[in-house]
């Protein structure tokens, strides 16, 4: 039981980090496009 709770928490954290990374890279690309 505890193991699956930890797994769920890890998955949630990983999903949040992935979402943040995607937003960050998307914002960076938009910024670089504006510079050109």
> From the first residue on, what is the mean pLDDT of each consecutive set of 10 residues in the chain (36 residues)?
89 98 97 89
Q: CA-CA distance, 29 to 13, in Å (whole number)?
A: 24
What pLDDT score was predicted for residue 35?
84
What pLDDT score was predicted for residue 2?
74
Q: CA-CA distance, 6 to 34, in Å (whole number)?
A: 42
Which pTM was predicted?
0.64
What pLDDT score was predicted for residue 25?
98
What pLDDT score was predicted for residue 1?
63
């Amino acid at each position: 039981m505890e193991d699956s709770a930890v797994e769920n928490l890890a998955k949630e954290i990983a999903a949040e980090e992935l979402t943040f990374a995607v937003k960050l890279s998307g914002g960076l690309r938009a910024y670089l496009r504006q510079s050109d």
